[in-house]
Amino acid sequence: MLDERYRAALKQSRLAILPDETLEAVVAGAVFLDVPAGGTFFAARRPVFACVVIDGLVRTFLVSADGRQLTVRYTRPGDVNGATALYSRPLVNISQQAITDSRVLILRTESVVARAKSDVALANVLLVELAERSASYIHALASTTLSPLRENVVRHLLDLAAVEQPGRRLVARLSQQQLADHVGTVREVVGRILRDLKDQGLVLTGRDEIVLLDAERLHDLTWPRMY
């Protein structure tokens, strides 16, 4: 019988549609990992694994040779991270970091792949996951390379502020340096963009936080999103 801990962990994910027998095979050897806000639980140049986000917000990002960072994806409860690692050699410069206190279920690659070879339902779930990831990464690449940096800054602020805010106050809790890392630029450039947004009455800046005053107007500044 499927352990209730795993059932609860997977209930928000696309894996939840699978029968208990399949899920038991998928979680064989899986382990829970609690990661404090700011903690990096998978670092560049270390073996990649697939995991399901249970709680919190996780950032997946690339790291350049000179240490600059570029966020490629945010994952929330129910999202699967690292599905490509099940079938291909992953990038060596990719990392994952908890933006808020997070919990993930780390899957054992061998267990998932072995079951998918004979289980069409599981294989289809993984195929849909991989297809959606491919489409979203292409869109992210287009948004990053074809849209102005100002739009990328606003998009990341909206992404971060959208996570379980108390009341109606939208706040992105990060420093200007962290925001610069997220969009692949330097702090001085981000500072100029934030000053411009502040002059327009769209944001307020504080110590390690940026308050979004008008989400609708900010959203109008961003590239239309597919996901």
Closest CA to 121 of 12, 26, 22, 29: 22
Q: Which whole-number Å values give the CA distances from 169 to 54, 58, 162, 182, 219, in the listed order? A: 24, 21, 10, 22, 16
Q: What is the pLDDT along the chain (227 residues), one digit of tens a residue?
A: 888 999 999 999 999 999 999 999 999 999 999 998 888 887 655 556 889 999 988 888 877 777 777 777 888 899 999 888 888 876 667 888 888 889 999 999 999 999 999 999 999 999 999 999 888 778 777 766 767 889 889 988 987 886 545 555 789 989 999 999 888 889 999 999 999 999 999 999 998 999 999 877 887 777 544 43
DSSP string, 66-113: TS-EEEEEEE-TT-EE-GGGGTSPPPTTEEEEESSSEEEEE--HHHHH
Within 13 A of 46's CA, how many CA atoms are on the CB side?
8
Q: Which whole-number Å values give the CA distances from 152 to 72, 80, 185, 211, in the listed order? A: 11, 24, 11, 17
Q: Please state, as a whole number, how many other Cβ atoms lie within 10 Å of the Cβ of residue 132.
A: 15
Tokens of 184: 């692949």
Dihedral, 181, 131, 37, 106 alpha carbons, nearest 10: -130
For the question of whether the overall pTM of this predicted structure is more than 0.75, the answer is no
Sorted by where each starts, the structural domains of the chain and their CATH numbers stand as: 4-144 (2.60.120.10), 147-220 (1.10.10.10)
Check residue 161 and give its pLDDT: 81
Chain centroid offset of residue 115 CA: 26
